[in-house]
Amino acid sequence: DQQVKQNSPSLSVQEGRISILNCDYTNSMFDYFLWYKKYPAEGPTFLISISSIKDKNEDGRFTVFLNKSAKHLSLHIVPSQPGDSAVYFCAASRGGKLIFGQGTELSVKP
């Protein structure tokens, strides 16, 4: 039973355009949601998080949107840069434990 799902294994975007990464969850008890970025042969790096009581959080080029009624969150990257090419994981938190999605590989083409 996968509580956090990223249904798109890959996404390709042109440099300068918007990247939208999606994540769905099933457990309404999650209190925080986080996004991580991972390069090959490295550990994930924390990007941005959002509390379950909010619907939007913004940090520079990264914005996370939360739709609790749909149990859906998304990460927007604007504008996308080639250096953003990586695997992105969403994670849901309950009691400090994180449950991760399978990841989406983003490729930003020049």
Partner 1 sequence: SQTIHQWPATLVQPVGSPLSLECTVEGTSNPNLYWYRQAAGRGLQLLFYSVGIGQISSEVPQNLSASRPQDRQFILSSKKLLLSDSGFYLCAWSETRTGGQPQHFGDGTRLSIL
What are the DSSP calls for 32-44, one per residue?
EEEEEEE-TTS--
Of 10-18, 31-39, 58-66, 69-77, the segment contacting partner 1 by CB under 8 A is 31-39
Beta strand 45-51 with 19-25 is: unpaired
Contact call for residue 107 and partner 1 (CB under 8 A): no
Q: Which is nearer to partner 1, 85 or 89 (CB)?
A: 89
**Single residue of 7, 12, 18, 46 touching partner 1 by CB under 8 A:** 46
Shortest distance in whole angstroms from residue 95 CB to partner 1: 7
Of 10-18, 65-73, 75-83, 99-107, the segment contacting partner 1 by CB under 8 A is 99-107
Write down how long the chain is: 110
Q: Are 36 and 47 in contact (CB under 8 A)?
A: yes
> How far apart are the C-alpha atoms of 35 and 38, rounded to whole Å?
10
Query: How would you classify residue 55: left for phi > 0, otherwise alpha for psi between -120 and 50, otherwise beta?
Result: alpha
Q: Which residues bind partner 1 (CB under 8 A)?
A: 4, 6, 31-32, 34, 36, 41-46, 49, 51, 89, 91, 93-103
